[in-house]
Structure 1
Amino acid sequence: MSSESKDGVLAVCGSMLSLSSIAVGLRFHARNKTHMPIMTDDVLTVASLISFAGAAIISIIMVQYHIIGYALSPAIAGELSAKLQIAWDVLGTTSLACSKLSALFFYRRIFYVGGNRCWFNITVIITIIMVIIWLVVFQFLTGFQCGTHFSATWDGTYEKYCTLSFPYLYGFAVSDFLLDIWILSLPIPRILRLNATLSKKLAVLGVFFLTFIGLFASGARMTQYIQAERGGPDYFINHDEERIITIIFFYTMLETGVSLIAVNLPSLWFLVASISPDKIMRSISNKLSFSSLPSDTTRTPVA
């Protein structure tokens, strides 16, 4: 089993879909157990899971039709293949964006201190806007990468009309990677300022840092897109495109699944730690509270 085989694709789709479903289910179980209301970050994980499930199903269908995962796959430009890939791109991008937004809304809910003028809260809001713009732009480019020549991806005129495809794919992979690094780094200053022992700080950081696995997958996919972008359409078409597509599917599904699992871990930490409802926010402000700073003297709950 490898990132270039059908077994690898099926395994990553099946395992990530199962684990992410369990993670989301446990998240809501934790909410119910602690009598906490359903918040924006919770809803976004459900949206991410639904989108991821759709992308996983499409990946499995493509394996069944020998479009990916086989050395002698049909031409990538086939109509069925092209349409499935567009749907997969839309669902995969939606799932990634919802996971990113869920993490950001979770940061805002847990680390909201000092009012809306606090630098951290302003940074999170700006990042949320950036992710929404990122989602809209790349969803638009997915549909219009060949301009208005929508059939160009399968009717033999791909190289003539789809001049945006490779810059779009390259830009998507690089921007996704950079956004992951930025979002992952956002809570680090806050966590390092907790009034807690070093071991507790490292434990909290460890909960967030599982996303490094997703970051690795994002980086591996970015490398494949960079190679394809440098070679242009000729490289993509003439250099074992089945292998390239399969690897991209594998690492994209791995990244998306791990991101969805990781975004649920902080909420599950409350469940594992058996923190009762009335102690959840107190545990953040006391046991793991921030050092007293002039800008952090007030705390207002955020929806």
Structure 2
Amino acid sequence: MAYFDAASETAIGVIFPALAIASLVVRAYSWKRYSPGIEIDDILVIPAFLLTTATGVAMVVGAQKHIIGGHSLPEITAAEQHSLGKFEWAYWMVGIVTIGFVKLTILFFFRRIFKGRSSRTAFDYANWTLIILVILWVFAFLFAIAFWCGRYPTRAWASLWSLRHECVDTFALLAACAIFSWVMDLAILIEPLLVIQTLNMSHRRKLQASLVFLCSILAVVAGLLRMITLIQIKIQGTTHANTRVLATLFPTADQEGIVSLILFWTYIEIGVGFAIACLIPCARLLDTIFLEPILSTLRLLSSAVSLSKWTRGSRSTKERELARSQTSWSLNDGRNQYKSSSQGIEDEVELVTVMNRV
């Protein structure tokens, strides 16, 4: 049994919308507490949330209706191809728009905190370039998927033969879409890290700020796995008996299993990306709630350890001084006793001498 069966498809369709709700609530609270007003990213996060939730619901419905999460063996039937083709086509249309809104939410948040006040900076040009590329990416691949079977989108789900012979190479198109998406994810990860290095801050503060933005690496990893999946399928083609994708071996005829795997990683990328888009702006709030108490506790422990060491050191010093004084007293007493005994012997010798003289 594969890890992307109906149960796991249902699970991520429930977990990530719940995570999206929690992330949005935290972001809203942080905005109310710290933000002076509504910015563009605060508006973009709303459609991103609605679409993230909608795609999660679609995953649950698809898994429960046995459209995804299963296997079409020994070969896919006409009814299965009809349901799977329609579901996949609609999912990609909504999924690309969702990913686009998530990326734009993050990029416009970067503009809020890094944009130049007086003149255009290198960040301004780089950020606007990424924003334009994301918008072009959404419209280009949305158009390509909408018409990947020409004027007759029904060919995508009419039969497997019509999908492979009367439509464009869908796996090549989706692989290209994933590659462009991942490259932009990588640029979104790197952009704030480069800007932070130019700020007039201490190395410690730069490290703290960089760690906040490094959480975007989770979305980069999820996008990478989706990209690898599609590239592997494209390279192996549909002429072999089996297809190996992310260490899982499929019969090439198992269209439902292959599509289920692709959609599984696609939705993980969407869910993780939205959570990051909400949590990065909440860094100050999360720092207040979680990090400051931890640091305070560590400071108290450090102070307690230092005090304990100082107390032990103080006691040891006192004990050494006491031992030194006792030793000194013993030596002096010994010297006095020695002097007394010597004096006694000398007195006795003198007494004997006197007696002899008498």
Question: Into which bin does the TM-score normalised by the smaller protein fall?
Answer: 0.7 to 0.9
- Higher gyration radius (CA): 2
Q: CA deviation at 1:26?
A: 1.5
Kindly indicate whether residue 102 of structure 2 is the aligned counterpart of residue 88 of structure 1: no
| Contact 2:93/2:142 (8 A) holds in 1 | yes
| Contact 1:17/1:53 (8 A) holds in 2 | yes
Q: 1:130-149 counterparts in 2 under 5 A?
A: 130-149=133-152
| Contact 1:149/1:161 (8 A) holds in 2 | no
Match for residue 165 of structure 1 among 167, 170, 173: 170
Using a 3 Å threshold, how does the CA distance of structure 1 residues 35 and 207 change in structure 2: closer, same or farther?
Answer: closer
Match for residue 250 of structure 1 among 248, 251, 264: 264
Aligned residue number for residue 186 of structure 1: 191
d(CA) in 2 for partners of 1:177 and 1:244?
20
Give SS of 1:182's match. Answer: helix
d(CA) in 2 for partners of 1:116 and 1:138?
34
Q: 1:1-303 counterparts in 2 under 5 A?
A: 3-34=3-34, 36-72=36-72, 75=77, 78-113=81-116, 115-156=118-159, 157-234=162-239, 238-274=252-288
Q: CA deviation at 1:72?
A: 4.4
| Contact 2:30/2:282 (8 A) holds in 1 | yes
Note the alpha carbon deviations across 1:117-151, whole angstroms, 9 max, x for none: 21110111111111100000111112111111211
Deviates more, 1:249-258 or 1:187-196: 187-196
Runs of 5+ consecutive residues of structure 2 not aligned to the other structure: 244-250, 290-358
> Which amino acid is 1:172 matched to?
C
State TM-score, norm by structure 1. 0.83
Between the aligned residues of both structures, percent identity stands at 26
Using a 3 Å threshold, how does the CA distance of structure 1 residues 49 and 234 change in structure 2: closer, same or farther?
Answer: farther
d(CA) in 1 for partners of 2:172 and 2:253?
18
Greater helix fraction, Structure 1 or Structure 2: 2
Supply the RMSD in Å over aligned alpha carbons: 2.3
Q: CA deviation at 1:65?
A: 1.6
Bigger relative contact order (CA 8 A; separation at least 6): 1
> Which amino acid is 2:95 matched to?
G
| Contact 2:6/2:64 (8 A) holds in 1 | no
> Which amino acid is 1:59 matched to?
M
> Which amino acid is 1:162 matched to?
C
> Which amino acid is 1:262 matched to?
I
Q: CA deviation at 1:249?
A: 1.5
Q: CA deviation at 1:194?
A: 3.2
> Which amino acid is 1:200 matched to?
R
